[in-house]
Amino acid sequence: MIQNFIPQSLKPLLRFLYYKNEREKVFREIKIRRQQNNILSTYQLNSIENLIVFLCEGTNWFTGKDDISGGILSIASIYEETRKLTSIHNSFVIMATHPDAHLLFKHTQFPNDIPVFRFSQLKLFRNLKSVMIHVPEYQFNKNLTDRFKSTFQYLCVKNIHINILNQRIDIMPSPSIINSISKEGFYITQTTAHEQYSTLKNRQKYGIPLHKLSVYATPERYAFNKLERKENLILVSPDEVEHKKSILQKLKEELPYYTIRIINGISYMEYLELVSKAKFTITFGEGLDFYFIETIYSGGISFAKYNREFFTADFEKLEGIFDTYEDMHQKICAVIKQLDESEQMYKATNKKQFNACHKIYNAKFYNENLVRFYRKQFSYS
């Protein structure tokens, strides 16, 4: 291929000339760099001795915008709560994009006031005694930790604390990867988002301290909409699984009076408005995700396949939880019709789902867990 013969130094220029998206990115990032520099210049960087960093994704190269996900909502909430705990961790808190990400100055898909810096700016903190870096589980690898060492090369490696944000156990790095990086001297921990895998077994599996953190999914954050204000609307998560098309086709055939909408290409606030109106949401993701929880806390009913890696046993026999997608395909229309026919049954089902979620997701537990983490009072040390 001809690109193999092009000098590496010329490739950025050719990308700039050939791709419109690349040109837009270059001009966009000039402004972002200026904004980041201006804000960072207001901080007294030389006086900061302890730093906490939250890594996040950057913008989408095709759209030039940040993407919304449950993961970034969770990271943003941990960041915001961490900033309130300065008296405990005695650190400066910052959010930065992954070193290879397209630059982002501020997340625009949900309400927040979090400036996002570029990874290279972390080198400007020159007098640190310690740094803690919260890393999403899918980003954790040897290349990234090597970047940490080069960025903070003046620090003893044991003073670089890497916390893996284990928000999805199914995409955690393998124990062998974690073990090999641990041998380099990093202090590595993991915080978990779900009760089901916050166990001694997983602490032993990965060989690093494990602390149950949960997520900031508390009912106080949502407007609970009564059934009489709901619409015949079924929301669907954008996840792709084998049986999704056949399930949606059956819903269209048997429930023609319902609008079925896949959640995609909208801001978080637009999504919350839809959730407040929808009677039902079907998540084809891990199951116990924000699509599932936020619908319930907004007065609706959620459907999902029971996933033993994420759901606790309390959810297994709940109405709306199916053993398999084949089971969902066979029964979901009948369940919706039953719930439509009985207001009492609809409200009772929402209440049971609500109670199961609130048992493990509430602000009090979340804040207490975060305090214990920064005090190194881990669930499993």
Q: Residue 344 is part of a domain; what is its CATH number? A: 3.40.50.2000
Secondary structure of 48-86 in HEC code, one letter for each residue: CCEEEEEEECCECCCCCCECCCHHHHHHHHHHHHHHCCH
Residue 257: pLDDT band with limits 50, 70, 90 = very high
Query: Which residue in this structure is represented by tokens 């915001």?
Result: 80
Please indicate, yes or no, whether residues 212 and 81 belong to a single structural domain of this protein: yes
38 falls within a domain: no
3-state secondary structure of 117: strand
Residue with more model confidence, 286 or 354: 354
29 falls within a domain: no
Domain limits for position 84? 49-216+364-374
Please indicate, yes or no, whether residues 333 and 315 belong to a single structural domain of this protein: yes
Q: What percent of the chain stands above pLDDT 90?
A: 73
Please indicate, yes or no, whether residues 126 and 170 belong to a single structural domain of this protein: yes
- CB of 336 within 8 A of CB of 346? no
379 falls within a domain: no
Mean pLDDT of all residues in 319-332: 95
pLDDT above 70 (res 156): yes
7 falls within a domain: no
Please indicate, yes or no, whether residues 72 and 120 belong to a single structural domain of this protein: yes
Dist. CA 277–CA 298, nearest whole Å: 9
Mean pLDDT of all residues in 362-381: 92
DSSP string, 261-283: EE--S--HHHHHHHHHHEEEEE-
pLDDT above 90 (res 222): no
Question: What CATH number did the domain enclosing 114 receive?
Answer: 3.40.50
DSSP string, 236-265: E-S---TTHHHHHHHHHHH-TTSEEEE--S
For 242-252, write each residue's pLDDT tens digit: 899 999 999 99
Please indicate, yes or no, whether residues 250 and 347 belong to a single structural domain of this protein: yes
| pLDDT at residue 15, rounded to an integer | 62
- Mean pLDDT, the chain, rounded, equals 91
| pLDDT at residue 20, rounded to an integer | 74
Mean pLDDT of all residues in 178-200: 94
Report how many domains make up the chain. 2
Please indicate, yes or no, whether residues 96 and 126 belong to a single structural domain of this protein: yes
Please indicate, yes or no, whether residues 207 and 63 belong to a single structural domain of this protein: yes
Please indicate, yes or no, whether residues 239 and 369 belong to a single structural domain of this protein: no
Please indicate, yes or no, whether residues 253 and 288 belong to a single structural domain of this protein: yes
Q: Lowest-confidence range among 60-69, 161-170, 180-189?
A: 60-69
Dist. CA 13–CA 305, nearest whole Å: 48
Q: How many CB atoms lie within 10 A of CB 188?
A: 22
13 falls within a domain: no
Mean pLDDT of all residues in 157-174: 95
Q: At a CB cut-off of 8 Å and minimum separation 6, what does 52 contact?
A: 82, 89, 91, 92, 93, 94, 131, 132, 133, 134
Phi, psi at 131, each rounded to 5°: -140, 135
Please indicate, yes or no, whether residues 62 and 195 belong to a single structural domain of this protein: yes
Residue 5: pLDDT band with limits 50, 70, 90 = low
pLDDT above 70 (res 8): no
342 falls within a domain: yes
Residue 92: pLDDT band with limits 50, 70, 90 = very high
368 falls within a domain: yes
Please indicate, yes or no, whether residues 179 and 259 belong to a single structural domain of this protein: no
24 falls within a domain: no
Please indicate, yes or no, whether residues 272 and 340 belong to a single structural domain of this protein: yes
Dist. CA 221–CA 192, nearest whole Å: 21
